[in-house]
Amino acid sequence: MLPADALWRDHSTAISRLAAVLLCAIALYLILRRRTHIKAWRPVRTALDFSPGTRKFLLTMFVFGIAVLVLLWAVDLNALTFSIGRLDLMQVHWLQAEWLRSHSYIPNILAGFTGFLIGAPVAAVLLASFALEREEQAAAAGIIRTTEFAWNRFRDAVHELCTDERIRGLKEGPPRARRVHNEVYECFRQYYVQGHNRRKGPPFRWNTTAEEHEQLKVKVTERLPSFKSEVVDYFLELGLMESQFQMPWTEAALSWNTLDQYVRLRRLELGLRWMPQELYVGISRHMIKSAKPLDEFSEMHESKLTSRPLVPSMFAAYAAAKWYMDLDKEALDNRISNPSAKGPDGFFNDDEELALYVQRGIAASEYLKGLRTLIETVDAEGWPLSATELVNPE
């Protein structure tokens, strides 16, 4: 065994070298912090995040450990003896442990520190790998639940919008509305021709008889219930008015935005399969249209009644016919005989406009049918329940 002086010198040299290394590390850290403006050391920030009671407990443990380290290190260097008055604790029988007399505490400390230097990086990498895998699985599970919820909301909104009644009504309703529209329009046209043929001049005044006016009122009044039934009641019953389909369309559009802008990107980021590409493209194409087929049909079916002159539409034609029946003969004649007017207010005045009205109804019907078919195809594919496994990139 080495003499105490030699042992003290060896340990003093080791301590000096260790202290020099620690001072160099601290100096390097301060230089890097000044140069790069790095934030406070992460363990310090982590410690400050604990509650005051937890911080006091951890600090007490740390101080107690340092005190025991210094005490036993001093004993190991024979720089300290345990004595109380004349009682030398080092002479007590049960304190004659071999590690207190063989100066083995410092080697044990150095061995533990060496194990820490080797084991800490390995443990950090392994724990980080396990933590990363767990976080990825938790994130994947969360986005799978979000996908199912968002898809169900989108699917339900589409089914609410693309009902069988709406698809059938948009295809069958416009021809029926055109038929009754033409019947009422013909009544006003014949009345106009009667007044036009009776013009005598000069000054070539347009004129009709009271009997002809009464006949007009009878013909139009007889057709108004049918006009209302085909133009208003039928479309209201099937939910084809703009105010009725805008709500489910908005719900479908918002749900699709969530799926396309958030859920799709998160699934791709985590390695989860998206819906089949051709179905995704088809749905996107339908949703990008922003309900344009429905809006185009709605413009020709129910234009705003506040515009002057009235924009031709089925709803405006019915409202104008009903309003004409409330006018007296003079006021009605002034409206119909106006040379600048192409026909009764709100009515379509040529077959091309009526054909376009029917065509837009068919286009809107096909639009809803196509969108619903795409949704049903995705469900038949089993997505998203069939795409819950992570796909490793090649």
Question: What six digits make up the tokens of 14?
Answer: 């080791």
H runs (alpha helix) in 162-241:
164-197, 210-228, 234-237
H runs (alpha helix) in 198-345:
210-228, 234-237, 242-258, 264-270, 277-288, 292-301, 314-324, 329-336
Residues 37, 67 contacting (CB under 8 angstroms): no
Instruction: Strands of 48-187 (E only): list them.
Output: 83-84, 87-88
The Cα 297–Cα 242 span in angstroms is: 9
Domain ranges of the chain: 42-81+92-138, 163-381
Is the pLDDT confidence value at 36 over 50?
no
Q: To the nearest whole number, what is the mean pLDDT of the chain? A: 79
Question: What six digits make up the tokens of 161?
Answer: 């919008």
Angle CA 190–194–197, to nearest 5: 130
pLDDT at 73: 67
Residues 216, 188 contacting (CB under 8 angstroms): yes
Per-residue pLDDT tens for 146-204? 999 999 999 999 999 999 999 999 999 999 999 999 999 999 988 888 887 776 656 65
Per-residue pLDDT tens for 253-296? 999 999 999 999 999 888 889 999 999 999 999 988 666 888 89
More confident residue, 106 or 97: 106
Question: What six digits make up the tokens of 109?
Answer: 């400390």
> Which pLDDT band, with edges at 50, 70 and 90, does 368 fall under?
very high
Angle separating helix axes 210-228 and 314-324, nearest 10 degrees: 140
Look up the pTM and report it.
0.66
| pLDDT > 90: percent of the chain | 34
